[in-house]
Amino acid sequence: MQRTFLAFQHNAKLHSLQAVVQAVKPFASLEEANRGLFKGASEEDHVVVTDQTIFHPQGGGQPSDVGVIKADSGANFHVSAVRINAITEGEVLHLGRFSDASTHFTPGETVTQTIDSEKRTLYSRYHTAGHVLGGAVRHLLEKEVPGFDELKASHFPDSASCEFQGLIEGKWKDAIQARVDEYINKDMPVEIDFWDEDDFKANGLERLMPDRKAMGMADDEKFRVVKIIGCEAYPCGGTHVDSTQLCGKTNVKKISRSKGISRVSYTLP
Gap between the terminal Cα atoms of the chain: 41
State how far the Cα of 75 lies from the Cα of 80, in Å rounded to an integer: 16
Domain limits for position 147:
120-267
State how far the Cα of 83 lies from the Cα of 59, in Å rounded to an integer: 8
Are residues 129 and 43 both part of a single domain?
no
Domain stop point among 100, 115, 130: 115
Are residues 61 and 133 both part of a single domain?
no
Helix or strand holding residue 78 (H, E): strand 76-84
Residues, the chain, total? 269
Give the amino acid at 203.
Answer: N
State how far the Cα of 245 lies from the Cα of 21, in Å rounded to an integer: 38
How many C-beta atoms lie closer than 10 Å to residue 173's C-beta?
15
How many C-beta atoms lie closer than 10 Å to residue 153's C-beta?
24
State how far the Cα of 110 lies from the Cα of 193, in Å rounded to an integer: 30
Query: Quick one: DSSP state of residue 228?
Result: E
Domain stop point among 115, 133, 165: 115
Are residues 155 and 263 both part of a single domain?
yes
Are residues 193 and 85 both part of a single domain?
no
Are residues 205 and 256 both part of a single domain?
yes
Domain stop point among 97, 115, 133: 115
- Domains held by the chain: number: 2
Query: Quick one: DSSP state of residue 12?
Result: T
- What are the φ and ψ backbone dihedral angles of 183, each rounded to 5 degrees? -70, -35
Query: Quick one: DSSP state of residue 189?
Result: B
Give the amino acid at 149.
Answer: D
Are residues 132 and 258 both part of a single domain?
yes
**pLDDT of res. 241:** 97
Are residues 76 and 25 both part of a single domain?
yes
For strands 52-53 and 5-6, give the pairing.
parallel
Are residues 99 and 184 both part of a single domain?
no
- The CATH number of whichever domain residue 74 belongs to comes to 2.40.30.130
State how far the Cα of 111 lies from the Cα of 71, in Å rounded to an integer: 5
**pLDDT of res. 229:** 97
Are residues 131 and 13 both part of a single domain?
no
Count of helices and strands (H, E) across the chain: 4, 15
Tens digit of pLDDT per residue, the chain (269 long)? 589 999 999 998 899 999 999 999 999 999 999 999 999 999 999 999 999 999 999 999 999 999 999 999 999 999 999 999 999 999 999 999 999 988 999 999 999 999 999 999 999 999 999 999 999 999 999 999 999 999 999 999 999 999 999 999 999 999 999 999 999 999 999 999 999 999 999 999 998 898 888 777 888 889 999 999 999 999 999 999 999 999 999 999 999 999 999 999 999 99
Residues paired with residue 24 on neighbouring β-strands, in sequence order? 48
